[in-house]
Amino acid sequence: MFSQTLSLSRPVLGFAFATLAGISTAQADFQLSDRYTDADGDLVADIPEDESQWRDPDTLVFAYTPVEDPAVYADVWSGFLDHMEEVTGKKVKFFPVQSNAAQIEAMRAGRLHVAGFNTGSNPLAVACAGFRPFAMMAADDGSFGYEMEIITYPGSGIDEVEDIKGKTLTHTSETSNSGYKAPTALMASEFGMTSGEDYEVEFSGKHDNSILGVANHDYEVATIANSVKDRMIDRGVIDADQIEVIYQSDTFPTTAYGVAHDLAPELQEAIKEAFFDFDWEGSALAEEFGKNGESQFIPITFKKEWSVIRQIDAANDVQYQCS
């Protein structure tokens, strides 16, 4: 199994949260599980040298990060998965995972071959499940990312972040960047409030749960990814006037797409090709993710684009335990 531990027994590192995007790219103390090697120093698991350890399944299993009800995205991804079938010559199945932990465990156990892991769970997936991320959605000009927002509802009595003191802040899950990690660092470094001491914490499980919970007054205040909120508003799931934003962060990298480390090299290259030559025009992906301005897949590396996320983990004393 794997786990993530976070300690706030000491003050979070004293950097201003708003400057996170500009911090040094020096690598945090990031270690892969002993199951994997990293001879080239790119911080992700190497493809096994022994060809007998390569996998070349007849059916590829794909899962998208469970930011909302997986049923919402089965149809959204269907056209892309048809395209992946054509490029790879394999059958491709959509796997509707219900949690980040279940998604990571599925890849670690060999049941998941291709996936989009959310921003915060990427380090755990890379360290403990042998995930090799290579792509991310972006706009036509190459810009990418989303912002963490702290939201409440009109009339809640919470008008600014300081008003959270003594109340309960709803997060999504411990593996989520915008749903937990980044706001925990923010609350301590910028506002001097420690999780579990100055305010209570509860978890909704997913971003849509938090957003709906605030919109329906089930939760007073929550931390979410605004990309999910914006898509829910565009689909009419909630009305914009049901939500008030009291804080918005700098931009973070969004979901990273990649493969299990032990797929045959030729298959890994074919899967990459499927991502980078996909025609977005008129697709269900364009209809759904175009709401956030996304219109293509671009190449990324875990070492570069996820440096800021590893720094947030280091600030929060996050330790990944893989066994």
List the chain domain ranges: 2-143+254-322, 146-252
Which value, in Å, is the radius of gyration of the alpha carbons in the chain?
19
> What is the spatial distance between Cα 151 and Cα 202, in angstroms, rounded to a whole number?
15
> What is the spatial distance between Cα 299 and Cα 276, in angstroms, rounded to a whole number?
8
Residue 84: enclosing H or E segment and its boundaries? helix 70-88
> What is the spatial distance between Cα 256 and Cα 64, in angstroms, rounded to a whole number?
10
> Fold match between 2-143+254-322 and 146-252?
yes
Residue 4 binned pLDDT confidence (cut-offs 50, 70, 90): low
Work out the burial of residue 72: count CB atoms within 10 Å of its CB; fewer than 13 is exposed, 13-18 middle, 19 or more buried. middle
CATH code for the domain defined by 2-143+254-322: 3.40.190.10
Mean pLDDT of the chain, nearest integer = 89
DSSP 86: H
Residue 99 vs residue 167, higher pLDDT: 167
Residue 318 binned pLDDT confidence (cut-offs 50, 70, 90): confident
pLDDT at position 68 over 90: no
Token pair for residue 242? 């049901």
Render pLDDT for 143-171 as a digit per residue (tens, 0 to 9).
998 899 999 999 999 999 999 999 999 99
CATH code for the domain defined by 146-252: 3.40.190.10
> What is the spatial distance between Cα 23 and Cα 44, in angstroms, rounded to a whole number?
22
Classified as helix, coil or strand, 111 is coil
Q: Tell me, rounded to whole angstroms, the distance of Cα 165 from its chain centroid.
A: 27
> What is the spatial distance between Cα 113 and Cα 267, in angstroms, rounded to a whole number?
11
Q: Is the pTM of the predicted complex or chain greater than 0.85?
A: no
> What is the spatial distance between Cα 162 and Cα 243, in angstroms, rounded to a whole number?
18
